[in-house]
Amino acid sequence: MPPGVEGPPPLVYSPRSLGEALALFVPNPHAQLFAGGTAWQTEHLTSSIRLPGVTISLHLAEDLRKVAYGERFLDLGGALSLNQLLSVGGPWVPAILKDAARVIGTSALRNLATVAGNLCQKGVLGDLFPPLHLLGALCEIRNLRGSRWLSAQQIAEDGRVVLAAGEILTRVRIPQEDWPLVFYQKIGNIRTPWDERLALSGLARTKNGQLEGFRLSFHLPHSGLVRIRELEGELTGQTLPLSHRERTQAVDKVDEALGLLPVPASVFQRDRVLHMTRWILTRLDDE
């Protein structure tokens, strides 16, 4: 018996399709899903894996790894690995999503880590979520009776995708929209203290010297996602370059939003968020 675990070895099923995986929930309604296992392992640091009594491992379910794209949507299979996501050629995968995926773990871990695993991991909001939120993505959750769609807003409120017993996150649907200006910066990683970690995501589109579209969010791990829609609305339609007053007001608005968080941002986080906001506004002016 491996060290640190007790009792008989758990039962592990490895279905080859989504249908098989869902069918396994009939005799095992409380079976736990196992995707890449990277979040669990990097958190627990043990030579053994504590699995529940019955586990459904999705590593052989090829239909959950599919990428489908059309004119309006991009669909990413839930069990698609991050490196598979990064290796999709052409303009189909939004650049901001690739930027976020590229700085998750190491290359070898990205071969295991999955899109759905990133969104469903316990404790923290996954790194893919802030870009998906800005892009207006939806998650399809299926069980044997049917399916439901979860909006990014709902996920942000819950802090992660919460699956009920018998449910699987089958795909993430991203609307196809052109965002030529992409901003993504992540500070810290899993080993960095919580109050020194943050990620910034931003999307912008300009036309004839005007800011045609603008979306911005900050992700502070202990406070969740901060998106200031009022600011986005105010800046959208503005003529570029922005005036000094407009820029100062924008930075003040971000600062104000940080002050309203349930868990206050640390001095470091506040400083970095304001710095990054100024950086984005400067970049917009460059356009």
**Contacting another protein (CB under 8 A), which of 111, 176, 185, 249?**
111
* Binding segment toward another protein, per CB under 8 A, in 8-16, 154-162, 166-174, 251-259: 8-16
Does residue number 59 form part of the binding site for another protein (CB under 8 A)?
A: yes
Which lies closer to another protein via its Cβ, residue 3 or residue 262? Answer: 3
The torsion region of residue 237 among left (phi > 0), alpha (psi -120 to 50) and beta comes to left
Structure tokens at 54: 């019955």
Does residue number 48 form part of the binding site for another protein (CB under 8 A)?
A: yes
Does residue number 14 form part of the binding site for another protein (CB under 8 A)?
A: yes
Distance CA 126, CA 116 (A): 9
220 Cβ neighbours under 8 A, 6+ residues apart: 197, 198, 226, 261, 263, 265, 269
Does residue number 106 form part of the binding site for another protein (CB under 8 A)?
A: yes
Site for another protein in 260-279 (CB under 8 A): none
CA 179 to chain centre: 18
Whether 38 contacts 142, CB under 8 Å: no
**Contacting another protein (CB under 8 A), which of 25, 34, 183, 214?**
34
* Binding segment toward another protein, per CB under 8 A, in 102-110, 128-136, 250-258, 260-268: 102-110
Structure tokens at 164: 């009920």
* Amino acid of residue 101: A
Whether 140 contacts 169, CB under 8 Å: yes
Which lies closer to another protein via its Cβ, residue 37 or residue 159? Answer: 37
Which residues make up the interface to another protein (CB under 8 A)?
1-2, 5, 9-10, 12, 14, 34, 37-38, 41-42, 45-51, 55, 57, 59, 83, 86-87, 105-109, 111-112
